[in-house]
Every structure is written in C-alpha cells, then in structure tokens.
Structure 1
Amino acid sequence: MKRVPPKANSLPAAYFELTKPNITFLILISTALGYYLGADGIDNWSKLFITLIGSGLVSSGAGALNHYAEQESDQRMNRTSSRPIPTGMISPNYAKTFGIIIILLGVVILFFLINKLTAILAISTALLYLFVYTPLKKITWLNTSIGAIPGSIPPLGGWVAATGTLDPEAWILFAIMFFWQHPHFYAIAFMCKEDYERANLKMLPVLETDGKRTNRQIIWHSLLLIPVSLMPSYIGLLGMTYFWGALILGIGYFVSGFPLVKNYSLQNAKLLLKSSVIYLPALFLIIILDKLT
C-alpha cells in the first residue's frame, strides 16, 4: 500500500496545507520570472514583494477552494485522505470562507497597489482553475491541457506588474509554462493513477493501460518546449548564456521522458517528475545569470 501523507498536527498547519504550498511556490517562481524579465532586472524590490504577496494570496485562496470542491474525491484517495477537510481538522464551510477571503484580499492588493490588469489576470487564473479545470477532471482527460492554461498565466501577471502592459514577449513565458506542465502532470497522474481511478478522475494514465497516448503527450510537449524556451534569445530578450543553458535544460527534460516510454513504470515516472521539478528553478537561475553577464 502506498504511504499516506501525515495528517496536519495543528490548526495553523491545517490552514497552511489548504493553501497548497507546493503549487503556490511554483506560481510565485513563475510570477517572479515574469516580473524579472518584464522589468529587465529588479529595480523596485517593494513592488515585486507586493506582487508576490497578492499573487500568493490569490493562489492560496484558490487552493483552499479546490480543497472544498474536491472534498469527496479527496476522501477516496490515499494521497489526499489526510487533508484537512477529510480528516475533520477544518470544516468545509470554514475552508470555503478562508479561500474566498484571501482571494479577495490578494485581488485588492494587486488592484490598488500594483495595477488593474495584474489583478484581472490573477482572478482569471483562480476562476479558470476552480470552475473549468477542476470540474473537467471528472469529464475528460483533456483536463490536463486545459488546466495548463491557468497554470501558465502567472508569468503574464508578473510581467504586467512590472510593465503595466501585456507585451507580446510575455506570451513566450506563457508558452514555456504551458509546454512544461504536460510532462510534469502526466508523471504525477501515472504515479497516482490508482488513486485517481478510485476517485473517478479522468486522467489519461487511468484511461489506458499501455501508456502510448500518455507517452506521446510527454514526448511531444517536452520536445516543443525546447524551441519555445529558446525564443527569448531569438528576439533579443536574453543572451547566449541563457540560450545554451535553456538548450541543455530542455534536452535534459526531453531525454528524461524516454525511460518512461521504454518502460512504463513508477520508477521512470518519478525520474521524469524529478527532472520537471528541477527545470523551472534552474531556468530562473540561468535567466539571472544571463542578466548578470
């Protein structure tokens, strides 16, 4: 039997778990990435800090509302059965109220202290995540691709926070996030497919036994990520340090999917997941290095 994550041991820890800290951390990284590139560096640390606070609150609130929306599914899955709502640490209504309050707080911060468009992008991300992606998980395996859309908006928000405008260059960051997410979430879906099947969630690895379509999705999206990730160098947004670093990272991410194609196993899915987790922070560090050289 798979290990069940431990139950939160205090009420503050339970509320923290409601915010989905891993996803929120990823959103903050991509938001900071968009801000850094949009501002061509960081010339206003307080503005970046406020942007991250507002974006983090919206993301955390969306996470809490997702816990509320998926409480029945969470009860059925080993990996989520110890979450605050299934264990009774937090009542569903308290989780819903908490989520709504911090989303509104985040939107107000972004609207009044950053700009209106950044606030609109943040609330759009939350609404798409909650009212499009979440229900689609019970309807179609395409939920992964559709869910990648709200997952790709945060760097746009960071860019707009820095510049005040949604420039064409910002959409390159959107595309990088979009293609990166597919191998990442398909690896997770494979690792948790028994749980997803138990909860009747239509993840692609659940719907097929041989993994052929899943592997095609992984290979094609990681392959397309390579030229897309090099576009900042093509248009002069970043230099050759970034070009070679992004190329090496992209090839590494692409190659890490091949063991899963050859042997559709849990071990190889974990390898792909580790590679995906390394990719984004490493890309951010390469961008900073490129700006410093």
Structure 2
Amino acid sequence: MSAPQPAVMERRSSRRVRFADFFELTKPGITTMVLITTLVGYYMASRNGLRPLLLLHTILGTALVAGGASGLNQYFERDLDARMHRTRNRPLPAGRLFPNEALFFSMIISVVGVADLMFFVNVLTGVLGLMTLAAYIFVYTPLKTRTALCTLIGAFPGATPPVMGWTAAGGDIDAVALSLFAILFLWQMPHFFAIAWMCTEDYARGGFSVHVSGQSTGRQIIFFCCALIPISVLPTMLGLTGMLYLLGAILLGFVYLGYGFAVALFRSHAHAYRLLWVSILYLPALLALMMLDKV
C-alpha cells in the first residue's frame, strides 16, 4: 500500500484545522458548563427515570443553541475581539474563518437546536431556548459596548439553562425552577466581576463598557455573594434536597463570600484571580451536592 500523497495529507490536515476552528467558535468550555447546569435541572425534575432519548435531545438541542449563540456573538464582535489580547487569536479575528461562513454555521446550528428542543423535547423548553438565544445576541451583545449594566443583563440568559433542563424533564416554571435560576444568576456576578477586574485594560482596548472601580466593584461582589447564601438553600426549603445539601451550600457560600471580601479589601489582580478560581470550583461542587442529596 502506497503512502498518502503530500497534497492529500495537506487537505486532510486543512479539514481538521477548519473543524477545530468551527468547534472553537462554539466556545466548548462555556457550552460544557451550560450542559452541566441543564443536566442538573433535568435530573432534579426527573421523577420516573431519566428517559434516555428525551435526555439525548435535551443535551443535543441545548448544546447547539449554546454553541450557536457563542458563534453569533463572536461574529458580531469580531472587530472588537481583534483589539484584545485575550480574544485576538479566536478564529474570526485571526482570519482562520470567513465572517460569512461563521455566521451561516452559527445560524444553522442555532435553528436546528431550537427546532430539536421544540419538536423532540417540548414547546416550553424550545421557547426558553429561543428566548435565551435572542436575549444573548440581540440584547446582551450590543449592550456590552454601551453600558456597564451589560454584566447584570447578560446574567439572565446565563441563568436559564437549569430551567430548560427542569422543563425538559416535565417540570413547570415554579418556585423550585426559579430558585435554580436565581442561584445561577447570583453566582455569575462575582465570577464575571473577577474576570473584569483582571482584564479591565483589555476590555477598554476592545471598547467594552466594563468599568471596574475598586470600592464600588468590591461592594457589588460582597452583595451578590451575600445574597447567594440564602438563595442557595432554597432547594432544601422547597423540599428538593436534604440536610447534606443545606449544610454544604452554606459552607460553600461562606467560602465564596470570604474570597469576595478579600477582593474588596485588597483590590488586587491576585485576589481577583483567586476569586475566579473559587467561583469555578463553587458551582460544580454545589450542583454535585444538589444531585447527591436529591430528596
């Protein structure tokens, strides 16, 4: 058997690179976190087994919507991303993908994702997916260059995935679903403030309205961390989880708050970095406790 010709190998390599660029366009890290929170909502609402086919469509549809939203966001922000150190090597600003092909790809997977949720999961979950997509692209994305409130506004679509998981499994949008939404909403704020603190110069270079002032931002971090503690125990108060989750949520909440206080007190890049990592660890730990101690 003869070895592949150089031209054939080059084409194969080129296809792999392009696939990797389209995959990167979907922000797989963020999409994975979206899927985790969706699966938690699905699991917590499931009372008669997980129903594998329904779960598969929930995962597939949500992944496509999340990936499409990320791709559309990068399409609209490609010129701004080119100015920033942390984003200039993304596929669009780096020139590895053409804008039109990125737009087409992102639109297609978004439409397919919403349709999958609508027809193979249920209408409510599909509508939530469509609303989340629209809010992220047509509200949050343009506001990022217009107002510092964009972080607060962006937390709304960011908190929807567990509710989508909840409704996918047959749950209503009730107090429990709203408690899951509130937990995700409040968790995001210190997380994003930590990122903004670390990247404030880069955001300014890109033209984004992210204003970090030591005293004001520190107070906001403390406020949202404090608010998260009582909200995080609502699943137990509402009969969804037991005492293990309750105690764990309180402990995790005070750890998160402690690192938030450190940022407010010392106002340093190093403390913001530590808060960022604590926020990344906090959420999966809380969700794991929730699933483990489901009543």
How high is the TM-score relative to the length of structure 2? 0.92
Output the amino acid matched with 1:230: V
What is the CA-CA distance between 1:216 and the residue it aligns to?
1.1
Unaligned ranges ≥5, structure 1: 1-8
What is the CA-CA distance between 1:288 and the residue it aligns to?
2.2
1:28-43 matched pairs, under 5 angstroms? 28-40=35-47, 42-43=49-50
State which of 281, 285, 292 in structure 1 corresponds to 2:284. 281
Cα deviation digits, residues 77-132 of structure 1 (max 9, x gap): 00000000111110011110000000011111111110011011011111101111
**2:73 corresponds to which residue?**
66
1:1-12 matched pairs, under 5 angstroms? 10-12=17-19
Preserved CA contact (<8 Å) 1:117 1:164: no
**2:251 corresponds to which residue?**
248
Q: Give distance in 2, aligned partners of 1:136 and 1:25.
A: 25
Output the amino acid matched with 1:284: L
Unaligned ranges ≥5, structure 2: 1-15
State which of 217, 224, 228 in structure 1 corresponds to 2:227. 224
Whether 2:96 is the aligned partner of 1:93: answer no
What is the CA-CA distance between 1:233 and the residue it aligns to?
0.8
State which of 128, 138, 157 in structure 1 corresponds to 2:135. 128
Preserved CA contact (<8 Å) 1:35 1:161: yes
Whether 2:277 is the aligned partner of 1:270: answer no
Matched residue SS, 2:285:
helix
Q: Percent identity of the aligned residues?
A: 46
> Which piece of structure 1 moves more, 76-85 or 31-40?
31-40
**1:181 corresponds to which residue?**
188
Q: Give distance in 1, aligned partners of 2:89 and 2:203.
A: 16
User: Against the structure 1 CA distance between its residues 149 and 41, is the aligned structure 2 distance closer, same or farther, given a 3 Å change threshold?
Assistant: farther
User: Against the structure 1 CA distance between its residues 42 and 25, is the aligned structure 2 distance closer, same or farther, given a 3 Å change threshold?
Assistant: farther
State which of 234, 237, 246 in structure 2 corresponds to 1:234. 237
1:16-165 matched pairs, under 5 angstroms? 16-40=23-47, 42-165=49-172
Preserved CA contact (<8 Å) 1:115 1:164: no
Output the amino acid matched with 2:218: N
Number of residue equivalences: 280
What is the CA-CA distance between 1:168 and the residue it aligns to?
2.5
What is the CA-CA distance between 1:42 and the residue it aligns to?
4.5
> Which piece of structure 1 moves more, 259-268 or 94-103?
259-268
**1:199 corresponds to which residue?**
206
Preserved CA contact (<8 Å) 1:41 1:291: no
What is the CA-CA distance between 1:284 and the residue it aligns to?
1.6
Preserved CA contact (<8 Å) 2:241 2:290: yes
What is the CA-CA distance between 1:154 and the residue it aligns to?
0.9
What is the CA-CA distance between 1:259 and the residue it aligns to?
1.7
Q: Give distance in 2, aligned partners of 1:64 and 1:42.
A: 34
> Which piece of structure 1 moves more, 37-46 or 282-291?
37-46
Q: Give distance in 2, aligned partners of 1:21 and 1:270.
A: 22
What is the CA-CA distance between 1:289 and the residue it aligns to?
1.7
Output the amino acid matched with 1:283: L
Matched residue SS, 2:85:
coil
Cα deviation digits, residues 124-172 of structure 1 (max 9, x gap): 1111011111111111111111110111111111110011532231000
Q: Give distance in 1, aligned partners of 2:146 and 2:219.
A: 21
Q: Which runs of 4+ in 1 moved over 3 A?
A: none
Output the amino acid matched with 2:208: L
Cα deviation digits, residues 209-248 of structure 1 (max 9, x gap): xx11111111100110000000111121111011011111
Cα deviation digits, residues 244-266 of structure 1 (max 9, x gap): 11111111111111221121111
Aligned CA-pair RMSD: 1.4
What is the CA-CA distance between 1:11 and the residue it aligns to?
1.1
